[in-house]
A and B are shown apart, each in its own frame.
Chain A
Amino acid sequence: MITRAPAPGIREPREEAPRRGIARRLARATRALATPLLPDDYLALVNPLWSTRALRGRIVATRPVGHATTELTIRPGAGWAGHRPGQHLGIGVEIGGRRHWRTYSITSAPGDEHLTVSVTAVPDGSVSTFLARTAAPGELLTLGPAIGDFAPEHDGPLLALTGGSGITPILGHLAGGAGTATGADTVVVHSGRGERVHGDDLGRLAASRPRLRVHEHDSGSGRLRPADLDDLVPDWRERTVLVCGPAEMIDEFSAHVAEAGATCLVERFRPPEPVAEGTGGRVTFTASGIVAEADAVTPLLRAGEDAGALLPSGCRMGICHTCVGRLRSGAVLDLQTGELHIADDTTEADDAVVVRTCVSAAAGDCRLDL
C-alpha cells in the first residue's frame, strides 16, 4: 500500500518510525552521511526488513488451509506499527517486474511476532495465484499499514455471520481473544459450500474456548436466511453483529439486523457493483505528468497505476478514502454513487472537488492532482 502523498520518497524524507535510544540518535547522525538518500536505503542493502522507508515483510512459512487457500506467515520489517483485530493490510508483490497491490485480512493476534493472512487463489488472479501457490518462505513482500475498522467499540457479545473467505477477519478477532474466558462472548455462524477454509482451525478453537460457539452451515443445502437467525442464535439482537461474505449475504443480513435495531458492522472484499458508467477519457496525473487512457469502467486508480503512476491507495473499494485526490479539471463519475464530479481550472481551493480514485472512472478527459 502506498501511503498518503507524498509517496514514500526521499525528496521529502518522511518521518522515520520512532526508534529507541542510541538507534535513534545514530539514525539522525547518519542522515548527513546518507544524503540525498536515507540511511535506511543503505541498511536495506544488508537486510530489506531493516528499512523503515519502505515497509517490507518476508514470508517465513506457508500452510494450506483449504484446497486453493494458503496461510502465509510473514515477518514484518522495522516500521510495522501493529494492528487491531479485524483490520486488513495491503500486500505488494512484484510480478513481471511490476508491483501489484492486494488487500488481505490479518488473521494473527495483535502483538504477535509474525503476521498471518490467508490467500485464496482465484482463477485468472495473478497476485492471488502467486501468493497462494508460488510464493515460498524467503519471498520478500511490500506491506502497507494495517487499516480498517471492522471491530465493535466495546467488549459486548458478538455474532459473526460469515460466508466463504469472509471468515478471515473473524479469525483475526478470535486470534485477538474473542471467545476466550476473558474475551467477548462470541457466536460464529459460518456458511460455506463444500470447502471449509480454515475449517480445522475453527473446530479446534470452538472446542477449546469457553465463550465461543461455532455453527457451520453448508450452503450447498440451501442458503442461510436472516429468518434462520432466531433459531440458531436466539439472543442475536443483544449482540453486535459482524457480517463478512458475498455481497448478497451482506446486503440481506445487514438490512435485517438494522431493521431489528441491533448494531451491525460489515466488511466487504469487493466493491459493490457499479451503478453507472463513465465515458472514458485521457487522465493526467499532475504530480508525475503521467497520462493514462482510461475506459468507462476502469477506476482512475487502476488506469494510473497501469501507466506507471505512484498513487495512494488503501481498500480499493471506496471505503477508506486513502486514495482521494483533487480533480483539477474535467469530469469524473463515481461508479458507486453515480455522482458526476466536474471541475475546471477556475474552481477555487475552497470548493475543491475531491474524488475517490479507486471507485471513480473518467467521464471525458480530466486532470487529477495526484
Chain B
Amino acid sequence: MSVTSPSLRSTSTVANPEVVPDHVTRINEAKTPTGPGRPGASTAHITPSTAHLSTEDIERIGAELEAMRDEVMSSLGEADAQYIRRVIKTQRGLEIAGRIMLLGALFPPAFVLGTASLGVAKILENMEIGHNVLHGQWDWMRDPEIHSTTWEWDAVSTAEGWQHAHNYLHHTYTNVHGKDRDIGYNLLRIDPDQPWAPHYLFQFLSNAGLALIFEWGIAMFDLEIDEVQRGEKTWADKKPAIMGMLRKAGKQMLKDYVVFPALSGPSFVPAAVGGLVANLMRNVWGHAVIFCGHFPVEVETFDEERLENESQAEWYVRQMLGSANIEGSTLLHIMTGNLSHQIEHHLFPDMPSNHYARIAPQVRDLCRRYGLPYHSGPMWKQYGGVLWKIARLSFPGGHEAVEKRRRRGLPVIGEAVATLRRLRDGAAPAAA
C-alpha cells in the first residue's frame, strides 16, 4: 500500500463530503496518506482512551496492524476458496430444503422445520456470504460468481446501493457524528451528542419496530433520501435508485409471498407465513448483530474534526475504538457473518472473514500492550448495553451517564503507560 500517492480521501474530500468517488471505495486502499507530525495535524484523535499514547505509539500500532494484514492476505489460498464455496453450498442446500418443506406447510412439523431452515439460509446469505462478498473479501479468487461486482443478495436493498452506503460511508466514517450514516443514526438517538427531540421518547419501540423490518430500513437508508430533504439532490436524481430498489423488492416479495406459496397449493397461507417468519428471523438477527457491533455503551463516537488529516494509523485506532465484538462459539461467528469480530472487520473490511477469528487474539493483545480498550463480550452483555443506551437516550441529556459507563470500560491506564514507557525507552532511547 503506497503512502505517497494521492488519496481518495484527501483533506479536500473530508472538507467537502459531496466529493465522493464514483465507485465503491476499498477502505484499506483509501486512507489518508499523511503521516504523524505533519503540519496542521489535528489533536482531535486524543480521546480519553488514547490520551496516554504519543503519535509515535499510534504509528507503531498502525504498523503492527499492517503487518497482520499483510501476513493474512499473502496466505490466502485453496483452503479459503473451499471455505466460502462450502458455506455457499450449505446455504443453498438449506434454502432448497426449507422451500421444499414449506410446500407441505399445512403439516406443522414441516412448517416449523421449513421456516427454520429458510430463516437460517437467509441469515447465512446476508451475513457470512452477501455482506462479506460485497465487501470484496473474495475478489482475490477472481471467480465472477463470487465477486463484489456481480453479487446480488437476498434482501430488498440492491447490492449496489448498499455498497455505497455501507462500504464507503459507514466504513470510512465509522462512528463519526453526522458522518456515519449507518442504520440507527437516522431513526434513533444513539449518541448523547445527537440533540434530543420528543419523538425519541418512544425510541425503544421504534427500535423494536426497526428490528422487525430491518431489511427495509437498510433499503431506505441506502437511498439516502435525506439528501433530497437537505436539497443536495432532487427526486429526479434519486429516481433510478428508488426504481431499482422497488424492482428488487418486488421480485423478493413475489418469490417469498406469491410464487412459492402458490406452488404449495393448499398450504398457500402457512407457506407465506413461513416465508414471512423466515424474513423476520433474518431481520431481527441482523439488527441485533449490527447494533452490537457499534452501539454497545462502551464504544466510542468521534467528532468530525478528527477526520482532519487523520493518518492511516489513527484511522485504524478509530476503527478499533468504535467497534465491539461478540464472544461465542464458531457457529455464532458464522451466523453473524463473523461480524462478531466487528473490530477485526472494521480494521480489515476486505480480509476474508474466516481469518478474523485467528487474528482476533493478536488484535486484543495489541490493545492490551498499548492500554487501549478492546470491546468484547457475550451477546447478552453487548445487546444489553445497546438497549440500556437506547433507553437512557430516549430522555434528554445522558452525556454523563454514557461517559461514566464508557470510562468504566477502559483498561487500567497507569499500567499501560508504564509498559509503554519501557517499550519506548527500549525501542528508541533518543525519545526518552
Contact = CB atoms under 8 A, between A and B. Distances in A.
Nearest to A97: B81
Interface in B151-187: 151-154, 159-160
Interface band, chain B: 35 or more
A246 to B, nearest CB: 30
Contacts of B23: 286-289
B22 interface: yes
A11 B260 contact: no
Contacts of B64: none
Nearest to B258: A32
A32 B255 contact: yes
A41 B92 contact: yes
Interface string A20-61: 000000000000110111000110010000000110000000
A308 interface: yes
Contacts of A308: 136, 139-142
Interface stretch (A1-9, A317-325, A332-340): A1-9
A98 B150 contact: no
B259 interface: yes
Contacts of B93: 45
Contacts of B149: 7, 9, 11, 287-288, 310
Contact of B142 (A11, A54, A305, A365): A305
B17 interface: no
Contacts of B26: 289-291
A126 to B, nearest CB: 13
A289 B96 contact: no
B29 interface: yes
Contacts of B99: 33
Contact of B151 (A6, A10, A42, A289): A10
Interface in A343-370: 365
- Interface of B, helix, strand, loop or mixed by DSSP: helix
Nearest to A40: B145
Interface string B26-39: 10010000000000
Contact of B150 (A10, A45, A293, A305): A10
A71 B305 CA distance: 64
Interface in A285-337: 286-291, 293, 305, 308-310
A365 B150 contact: no
Contacts of A98: 81, 140-142
Contacts of A33: 99, 255, 259-260, 263
Contacts of A99: 141-143
B376 interface: no
B142 A282 contact: no
A11 B150 contact: yes
A310 B159 CA distance: 17
A94 interface: yes
Contacts of B252: 35-36
A78 B235 CA distance: 44
A96 interface: yes
B141 A7 contact: no
B21 interface: yes
Given A96-B78, A308-B136, A9 B144 contact: yes
B254 interface: yes
Interface in B73-96: 76-82, 89, 92-93, 96
Contacts of A94: 78, 81, 141, 143
B26 to A, nearest CB: 5
Nearest to A281: B5
Nearest to B95: A42
Contacts of B148: 288
B358 interface: no
Contacts of A2: 144
20 contacts: A8-B144, A9-B144, A10-B152, A11-B160, A32-B259, A36-B251, A36-B252, A37-B152, A41-B145, A96-B76, A96-B77, A98-B81, A98-B141, A98-B142, A99-B143, A286-B22, A288-B139, A289-B23, A308-B142, A310-B147
Q: Which 6 A-B pairs have the closest CB atoms?
A: A9-B150, A97-B81, A308-B139, A289-B23, A36-B152, A99-B142
Given A36-B153, A286-B22, 7 more contacts: A33-B259, A35-B251, A97-B77, A99-B141, A290-B139, A308-B140, A309-B139
Interface of B: 2, 5-6, 21-26, 29, 76-82, 89, 92-93, 96, 99, 136, 139-145, 147-154, 159-160, 248, 251-252, 254-255, 259-260, 263
Interface of A: 2, 6-11, 32-33, 35-37, 41-42, 45, 53-54, 94, 96-99, 282, 286-291, 293, 305, 308-310, 365
